[in-house]
Structure 1
């Protein structure tokens, strides 16, 4: 693990599909961490999960989905289905964020969120990512990966010493605020 997972220039994934699938694995790990966390540590573990989900989904919406709409068979329908799944997860995230990690229903809601997010990830991998890999060149996937790496740098699961406060300042507040800030950074980076 270590630096290779959290420093964009050291990440080995130069294919956007490999990178996003690795993020799906990291999201599963962060769900495990939030579920196992003691009551005192639960809020911080949940915030790391929320940051990665916010940045991951925003990167997909800004970089991957627009590409998929034009490159894969029935792209508009495939992307619309993924966006509907993402919206369901966002609504749950907003409810959980508002209630806080001290809410008696937190673990029940976290299990529901996990089920929704992991079902969404499986659908992406099966219906969107598989076709995207088949319908795009390595250069196209490498270019998309560069944009996703910029976004991922906003939400490392274990920030470098000295970077915690900068990341915390950028990605604080509600999940929607995090997504908005991530969207702004991504758009500036990819020139939109």
Structure 2
């Protein structure tokens, strides 16, 4: 049987994928018609990842890690800022200067969040949890990402309660708009 990634492997792979998607977006010229599609793909993946972290990583930190509340609170605050920026990016015209400005701010926020998660949060969780628990969390994160919303919802309350309904609405909107599908 093939080993599924534990929570650390899963989230670290997501971080790498987010960086790659973001670099693709940053590499497109303002007049390139693929910019909106690249921004949408980046947003979809980042929102799914963020919801999974909020549903399972942060509660696990609170439960298992001494000082985990502060670590989780910092991660949630990062997500709130990033989600607001993603919402603004979703509404911005890819050919306008505001789009470029948002990409720059997102780059800084995302880099800081990923570095904090990989240097502080994930190692603290590894130190506090068994390999079995890390594997369970990896499974939960994968399931959460598959069911998560695909659009930013800054200020949304507890994702455990709202993810399924919000996801359904987002995916219907995506289908109707042709968002998130290769052209």
TM bucket normalised to smaller: 0.7 to 0.9
Q: Give the equivalent residue in structure 2 for 1:85.
A: 78
8 Å contact kept, 2:82–2:106: yes
Name the TM-score, length of structure 1 as normaliser.
0.74
Q: Please point out which of 1, 14, 26 is paired with 1:23.
A: 14
What are the superposed Cα offsets for residues 53-75 of structure 1, whole Å, 9 maximum, x if unpaired?
10000000001110110111201
Inter-partner Cα distance in structure 2 for 1:119 and 1:144: 23
Q: Give the equivalent residue in structure 1 for 2:163.
A: 183
Of residues 57-66 and 78-87 in structure 1, the stretch that sits farther from structure 2 once superposed is 78-87
Give the deviation of 1:100 after TM superposition: 3.3
8 Å contact kept, 1:154–1:182: no
Secondary structure of residue in 2 paired with 1:139? helix
Inter-partner Cα distance in structure 1 for 2:117 and 2:164: 24
Secondary structure of residue in 2 paired with 1:107? helix
Q: Give the equivalent residue in structure 2 for 1:64.
A: 57
150 and 100 in structure 1: CA distance in 2 versus 1, 3 angstrom threshold: farther
Structure 1, gaps ≥5 residues long: 1-9, 156-169, 186-192
Q: Give the equivalent residue in structure 1 for 2:119.
A: 126
Inter-partner Cα distance in structure 2 for 1:47 and 1:81: 26
Of residues 98-107 and 33-42 in structure 1, the stretch that sits farther from structure 2 once superposed is 98-107
Q: Give the equivalent residue in structure 2 for 1:101.
A: 94
Give the deviation of 1:13 after TM superposition: 4.5
Give the deviation of 1:182 after TM superposition: 8.3
